[in-house]
Each structure stands twice: as structure tokens, then as C-alpha cells.
Amino acid sequence: MSGVVVYLPPGPGAGAVTLRLGPGQVARFGRGSAAVPVELPLADAAVSRLAGEIRVTEDHWQLSNHSASQSYLVENPEGAGEYLRVPPRRAGAPIPFEFSRVVLPTHGGGTLAFQVFAPDHVYLDPDGLGGDQLRGTRTVTAYSLDETATYFLVLVALCEPRLRDQSPLEVPTTPRIVERLAGHPACARLTARAVSSHIDYLAEEKMRIAAPVEERGGRRNGKREAIVAIALRFGLVREEHLALLPPRGQAPGAGGPSPAGRAGA
């Protein structure tokens, strides 16, 4: 696991914060002060000066709750309500989710939250145990993709025209992806902004595309084309994955196949 990405949305009087943490690194969160600096400032009277910390290990990340009285929730946005409760003073709780939303209660009865993305979960070699493992080495997946996640649906929608031989050059725009996935139960509330975030996540964290994005006709298409090229070249998306998409021409809300993932926007 090469690390995690932590994203704190902008709040009153403060901009968004994005942190990239590698194994062994720690990010602290809370109200903070001159004496207690934090990397993730959460401005609410109900949040402790040092509310907790995130620690990245070699194969997962951990959450410590420094509060003496408040539990924190770690939600799986892709898990249809799945969550963990981290009780007060719990140290080093291991978090298994690839996408996580850390939720803290606030003074006014609401919540504050930030997101943690752990893109390098390790999956077993599909060939099973043996061979390399018996010699003391481990085989990992070069492109670790979760086929039950919303980002994978976005990837399939990006690749669909080429898989169906509709166009050797066409890559769908964000509005077209939103329209294409609207009939899927997991994507009924998927927004253009969410689609763009999934595309950025695929490019930067999953496929590690470092080439500069090309400007074509006022649109930033290079990133999408690079994603599609890698996905098709290495067989990450294949014809059988088209069954994950809603039937073409299906109206939003008309039902469809069972969700490939339990994700929202």
C-alpha cells in the first residue's frame, strides 16, 4: 500500500485540505491551537483540540479517537450503510474500506466529516497460493480495481463506445456518462462533479497516469483517453463488464440490473 489520500471539504473561513500520506505517516485532526497544531482543522466547539489521528501502515490505515466522551463513525460510502464506530480513547482502530468518510458530531446536532481514500488495497493472486508465495515473494495486482465500486461503473461507461465498436476514437463526456448511468440503482443521484472526481481518482490513484492532459477543442480529453487506453490494453474492462451498465435507452428510475456497487455520488 503506497499510502492514502485525505480530503477535508472547505468550511466556514477555511479552504479544502488534501493530504497524501505514506506508510508510517500520521495526520492529526481536531480544533487545534497554537500549542496543538493539527493537519485537518475541524472548527466546532464539540470537537476536541486534538480529536484524533490517522496513521498509515503498510497495508491499511488506522484511526485513533482521542476524545474522552465522543464516538466517531467511519462510513463506507460504497457499502449501503456499512460503517464502523470508533469509541472514545480507542487507539489504532484498523479501517478496511477503500473509500471512507470519517464523521464527528458537532455542537449544533449536525456532523463534520472528511474523506479517506486508500487506493492500493492488495488482492490475492487469482492463480491461488503457491509458486511465488512458496518462495517468499508476493504477487499483487498491478491495477487494483474494485468491480463493485462506482468508479468502476464510470470506467466501463468510458470504455463502452470502443467495446461496442461504435467509434474507435470517441470517449464519452461527463454529461453523457451521467446520462448513461442514470438508470442504474447505485447511480440515480450521481452528479457531473462526482463523475469528474471518479475520473480523477482512476487517473491519479488507480492507474497513476503522469502524462500531461492534452487540450483538445477546449476540453480536457487526454486524461480520459489515457484511462480508456490502459483499461482496454490490459483487459481491465472487457465486453462482459458491459452487463454492469443499465440497458441502453432505459429511463432513469425505471429499474435495471442489480447494483454492481452500493455507491452514491
pLDDT of residue 72: 95
For 217-243, what is each residue's pLDDT tens digit?
444 568 899 999 899 888 899 999 999
CA distance 203 to 257: 27
- Burial annotation 51-72 (CB, 10 A radius, 16+ → b, else e): bbbbbbeeebbbbbbbbeebeb
Nearest residue to 61 via CA among 101, 90, 18, 24: 24
Find the mean pLDDT for residues 34-40: 93
Q: What's the burial of 265, exposed, middle or buried (CB within 10 Å: 0-12/13-18/19+)?
A: middle
Q: Containing H/E element for 93?
A: strand 93-95
Find the mean pLDDT for residues 79-84: 79
CA distance 184 to 198: 16
Q: Which residue has the higher pLDDT, 80 or 38?
A: 38
pLDDT at 129 over 70: no
CA distance 97 to 221: 30
For 174-201, what is each residue's pLDDT tens digit?
999 999 999 998 888 888 988 988 998 8
pLDDT at 6 over 90: yes
Strand partners, 237: none
Q: How many CB atoms lie within 10 A of CB 94?
A: 11
pLDDT at 104 over 90: yes
